[in-house]
Amino acid sequence: MSVSIDQEDALVTSTDPLHPANLISELCASFYRLGWVTGTGGGICIRTDDKVYIAPSGVQKERIEPSHIFVLPYPQAEPSPHTDRIFLRRPKLNLKESACTPLFWNAFTVRNAGSCIHTHSQNAVMATLLWEKEKMFKISHQEMIKGVRIGGNGPTLSYLDTLEVPIINNTPNEEDLKDSMKEAMEQYPRAAGILVLRHGIYVWGDDWQKAKTQTECLDYLLEIGVKMKLAGLPTVLNE
């Protein structure tokens, strides 16, 4: 697929603050301040109809610029370490697309998501350690549960519902989480995110606003759940 240099730059150049390239830069800086994407870890993607905008790998997340953003056509064969990826745009700098790319594609193909966020939040990591044997984080009767949607893009959960987030094992290479993440998403269709042991969490939504909102709500619930567990309090009532 051949696109001229001028056309490539036009894909990530806009004065609109809501353009995906501008949003990704802004959101990565915001997530950095929350401690979710320090050390260049974590990532975010936004899908708009036939294009996917993805942050680069190995770049200080608080310093990402729109010119650093990769653009891929959608749909295409699911990107993985073993398939060639088609790009509409690559940054002129010697950058690599996010290692999360195959996992972001899971959110598109399994949940028809419009955005996916990956954080290395310490709340998520602690939850995977405290619920490692159960392979499932569970919490109920918390107001913030109402900010999470069934499956990530269905109806919102109720205060009386029990939120469940599956935990999958980590792998040395991020891309190799693709299959186990997809299996967990299919096995637990009501899950709005996937926790990765000693690593972090993936959260998705219909668009960037819903993905961001659910990531914030889930991080709150993971934090309060960890505190309750360490205090000897049950995180699920009537179980």
Cα–Cα distance for residue pair 233/218, rounded to 1 Å: 19
What are the CA-CA distances from residue 22 to residues 11, 65, 102, 129, 214 (Å)?
A: 11, 8, 22, 35, 21
Compute the average pLDDT of residues 183-206: 98
pLDDT tens column, 59-75 = 999 999 999 999 999 99
Higher pLDDT, 112 or 78: 112
Q: So what's the pLDDT on residue 187?
A: 98
> Of these residues, 8, 143, 175, 223, which one is catalytic?
143
pLDDT recorded at residue 92: 83
- Percent of the chain residues past pLDDT 70, beyond the cut: 95
How far CA 106 is from CA of 119, 132, 184, in Å, comes to 16, 23, 11
Q: Is the pLDDT of residue 239 over 70?
A: no
Q: What is the pLDDT of residue 68?
A: 95
- Distance in angstroms between the alpha carbons of the first and the last residue of the chain: 55
State the pLDDT at residue 8: 86
Residue 164 is inside which H or E element, if any?
strand 162-168
Mean pLDDT over residues 160-177, rounded?
96
Which residues define the annotated binding site? Answer: 100, 118, 120, 199
How high is the pLDDT of residue 196? 98
> pLDDT confidence of 58, banded at 50, 70, 90?
confident
pLDDT given for residue 83 in this prediction: 63
Measure the CA–CA gap between 88 and 28, rounded to whole angstroms.
Answer: 22
The yes-or-no verdict on residue 178 having pLDDT over 90 is yes
132 is catalytic: no
Mean pLDDT over 196-213 rounds to 98
- Average pLDDT over the chain reads 93
pLDDT at 146 over 90: yes
Q: Give mean pLDDT, residues 24-50.
A: 95
Instruction: Give the pLDDT of residue 144.
Output: 98
The percentage of the chain sitting over the pLDDT mark of 90, rounded to a whole number, equals 85
- pLDDT at position 5: 53
The pLDDT score that the predictor gives to residue 107 is: 97
Query: Residue 88 pLDDT more than 90?
Result: yes
How, if at all, do strands 162-168 and 193-196 pair? parallel
Quick: pLDDT tens for 1-13.
445 557 888 999 9
